[in-house]
Amino acid sequence: MTVDELKKLGADTEEGIKRCAGNEAFYMKLVPMALDESKYSDLKKQIGEKDFNAAFETAHALKGVLANLSLTPLCDIICEITELLRAKQDTDYAPLLEKLDKVRGDFTAIL
Amino acid sequence: MSDFVKKRLNKKRRVLIVDDEEINRLLLQNILAQDYDVMLASNGEEALEIIHRENGKISLILLDLMMPVMDGFDFFEILKKDPDYGKIPVIVLTSDKEAEVKSLNLGVADFIPKPYDVPEVILVRIARTIQLFEDKNIIKATQFDDRTGLFNSEYFYEYSTFFDEFNANDSKDVIAVNVNRFHVINAMEGRAFGDQVLSCIAKGIKAYLEHAEGLACRHHADLFYLYLKSGDHEQALYESIVSALSGILEDAAGRIRIGVYKNADDSLEFGKKMDYALLACNSINGDYNRQIAYYDETIIKKEQYEEKLIHDLDRALEQHQFVVYFQPKYEILGEEPTLCSAEALIRWNHPELGMISPGVFIPLFENNGLISKVDRYVWKVAALQVARWRDTFGKIIPVSVNVSRVDMLSRGLTEEMKGIVKDAGIDADVFHLEVTESAYTDSQSDLIERVAGLRDAGFAIEMDDFGTGYSSLNMLTSLPFDILKLDMVFVRKIHTDEKALRLVGFILDIAKFLNVKVIAEGVENKEQYELLKSLGCDAIQGYYFSKPVPAEEFAKFI
């Protein structure tokens, strides 16, 4: 995985690396952690069980991490989900979750 | 002070990051690690554990709000109620505007939005919050001493804990600085000059602190303290102070005394450490040849010895362990010297410690006021002795007794004295009261009234130790007394030193002018006796005639 590859996927790597006090290696170490599957599967499970409070907390946490690393395409989708969950909307999350899976897949593919 | 604060600011403060997301914690840690010691907790419970474990020695908490186990709001509520740790400032990490408002209302110091700002912004926000908080606390805890610009004692105390905290692994020295007979400087030169002396001492201390790590205060009056990382401070500090004083105080070198408590025991409370330095400092009080003293075994022993004397005093009075001796005074104006009176002097025959010199216990009891008990004991014994000699030999031998400075402050003194002579069945005019010259310098107007009252009641007043205090000629004319006792330091050299001789002659002339008698103390040999006689001195006292002796032995002089 390189910075250029991340950039091509739409990550604002410049901003992300700035938050790492300019330490690119450190940034590149954090990115895979943010893509780790467990949080995402938690979210899917909680939404599936209509446990919107728990789902909101998970989405909210993911949002913070993704925003800090400026993994923008992923962050945008999570933001959308977070806001829906915050309003406790019992809507069909499947298209958003699908999209999330796909974009996350793009990122994990270059790991 | 700014120097110390600057040094202190260079120490790493501790920041606790509380966030359940590892990535967020790592990001902040990465930003802060260079300037702070960073501690990490993944929820409120863990954070509380860390705070307790570290005794609250944390400068700032960075707090995420949404966390499992214990969230940020719950954590903050518990923290705020804690009397010890509730004042640690908290910055909230959040991405919600709503949460920002809520947390600010709850009393958090600030917030850092997510996604994080650039590191520079975060660092500035953190530094400002810490500084604001510390300044606020400092201002509350302090005032500087107006006169000297040093810390006052409260602030010094407060800051010593910071100093300990940031220098936990270093040993430290506590130093007390005091001025010999500062009250005399005030009395003789005026308060404004006294203040000038204090500010020069402070200047000397500050100059020294530029090269040493530590802090200093003026505690009260002329007492200063320093708290420093251990080192060879005392000599250089002494020199710095003396040099700051040299412009205004001629005898500065002998005036300053310094007490050092080296490598202070950490387990002691700070006030105790200060006491030890002061004990060392006071152990050389009045000794113009020793400027620096250390707290050590001998001081501990001296302190214990003195405590024992204080403890044993009441029993000693009950059991008549005190013995009153009498030293004859001879009139020397006629052909042959004739016995004219006696001075009552105390000895302590302690059952365990043996004979204790009055030079040991009198200064001790003078300092703590207990001397008045001892004085009263002597007064009664001496008054009864006058009556006994009268009854045995048919002769009146007037006796003089010492009246300490603290006795002179007692409003009922005249009535008390009247009672004592009445009980003994003697007249007031054969009971002489010796008031030390230095007592006159202290509180003049009160004292003059009291002495005048005693004289009206018939008592004769002898001014004791004349020449050792700082009486001015002007004072001599305004003070009421009947007899001047010339201190032995003048007498000692009159037969070997022309100047000393002329000085005594001069004092005798003044006494004649003031129409008071002079008794010379400490006359030890024939030459001194004859010189004093030739100069017209009225009476002498000293080993030339006799040392102080018990009352029975005194009979041989009558």
pLDDT digits 0-9 by tens, A18-30? 999 999 999 999 9
Q: How many helices (H) and strands (E) does chain B have?
A: 24, 20
Separation in Å, CA of A19 to nearest CA in chain B? 6
- Does the structure show a pLDDT above 90 at B94? no
Q: Is B22 on the interface with A (CB under 8 A)?
A: yes
List beta partners, residue B62. Answer: B17, B91
- Does the structure show a pLDDT above 50 at A2? yes
Provide the number of CB pairs (under 8 Å) joining chain A to chain B.
Answer: 48
B106, B73 contact by CB (below 8 A): yes
Q: Cα(A87)–Cα(A77) distance, rounded to whole angstroms?
A: 16
Domains of chain B in sequence order:
8-141 (3.40.50.2300), 153-295 (3.30.70.270), 312-557 (3.20.20.450)
- Does the structure show a pLDDT above 50 at B10? no
Q: Mean of the pLDDT values across residues B277-297?
A: 89
pLDDT attached to residue B9:
41
Full residue range of the structural domain in which residue A36 is found = 3-109
CB–CB contact B114 A64 (8 Å) = yes
Best CA proximity match to A23, nearest among A9, A5, A3, A6: A3
Q: Is B162 on the interface with A (CB under 8 A)?
A: no
Top mean pLDDT of B280-289, B308-317, B437-446 is at B308-317
Average pLDDT of chain B to the nearest whole number: 88
The CATH number for A94's domain is 1.20.120
pLDDT attached to residue B480:
82
- Does the structure show a pLDDT above 80 at B146? no
Q: Is B66 on the interface with A (CB under 8 A)?
A: yes
- Does the structure show a pLDDT above 80 at B99? no
- Does the structure show a pLDDT above 90 at B141? no
Q: Classify residue A4 by its DSSP letter.
A: H
Q: How many domains does chain A have?
A: 1
pLDDT attached to residue B207:
94
What is the pLDDT confidence band of residue B471, given thresholds at 50, 70 and 90? low
Q: Mean of the pLDDT values across residues B284-291?
A: 84
So what's the ipTM on this one? 0.91
Q: Cα(B212)–Cα(B50) distance, rounded to whole angstroms?
A: 34
- Does the structure show a pLDDT above 80 at B238? yes
Q: How many helices (H) and strands (E) does chain A have?
A: 7, 0
- Residue pLDDT, tens place only, B177-235: 999 988 888 877 888 999 999 999 999 999 999 888 899 999 988 999 999 999 999 99
Q: For the ranges A90-99, B225-234, B417-426, which has the lowest average pLDDT? A: A90-99
For residue B518, the surrounding DSSP H or E stretch is strand B517-520
Nearest to B30 among A26, A34, A63 (CB): A26
For B280, the token pair is 């060392």
- Does the structure show a pLDDT above 90 at B526? yes
Count the Cβ atoms, other than its own, within 10 Å of residue B394. 8
pLDDT attached to residue B159:
83
Cα of first residue to Cα of last residue in chain B, in angstroms, is 69
- Residue pLDDT, tens place only, B61-81: 999 988 878 888 899 999 988
Q: Is B121 on the interface with A (CB under 8 A)?
A: no
What is the pLDDT confidence band of residue B134, given thresholds at 50, 70 and 90? confident
Q: For the ranges B222-236, B338-352, B354-368, B387-401, which has the lowest average pLDDT? A: B354-368
Q: Cα(B368)–Cα(B357) distance, rounded to whole angstroms?
A: 18
- Does the structure show a pLDDT above 80 at B144? no
B406, B436 contact by CB (below 8 A): no
Which residue in the block uniquely carries the two structure tokens 């960075």? B62
- Does the structure show a pLDDT above 60 at B7? no
Q: Is A54 on the interface with B (CB under 8 A)?
A: no
